[in-house]
Structure 1
Amino acid sequence: MAVPKRKMSRSNTRARRSQWKATAADLVACPQCKAQKLPHQACPTCGAYNGRQYVEALRTEHEG
């Protein structure tokens, strides 16, 4: 097993860890209202999922 000979400085450690970034979630268009939503989730605008009405809408179209 490889063991480092010298301690890595904080700046080098942080520079190396700066590449660990989260990726943005992909959004898809809702087939009913065409609003952007997460895939495999009920639409927060109209509450539809897989052709059915599951939940009451959390926000309206005209809300900012």
Structure 2
Amino acid sequence: MAVPKRKTTPSKRGMRRSHHKLANPSYVEDKDSGELRRPHHIDLKTGMYRGKQVLEPKED
């Protein structure tokens, strides 16, 4: 059975855990409408993805 040879200090433990945080979601500005949207996602209002019409536009 593996047993640690030395106690991990709070500093080392904190340095290891510093990368465990959640990242903020990123948004890009849409070229056509100028609204913010998630990258690599379809714009549900216009139905466009990478300059092509993929879905029918959503009506309000």
State the TM-score, normalized to the length of structure 1.
Answer: 0.52
Unpaired runs of at least 5, structure 1: 6-11
TM-score, length basis structure 2: 0.54
**Mapping of residues 17-28 of structure 1, within 5 Å:** 19=18, 21-28=21-28
1:30 has 2:27 as partner: no
Runs of 4+ aligned structure 1 residues displaced above 2 Å come to 2-5, 56-60
What is the aligned-residue RMSD (CA, Å)? 3.1
> Which residue number in structure 1 is paired with residue 56 of structure 2?
56
- Identical-pair percentage: 30
How many residue pairs get aligned? The number is 54
CA distance in 1, matches of 2:48, 2:35: 11
* Structure 2: gaps spanning 5 or more residues: none
- Aligned-pair distance for 1:57? 3.9
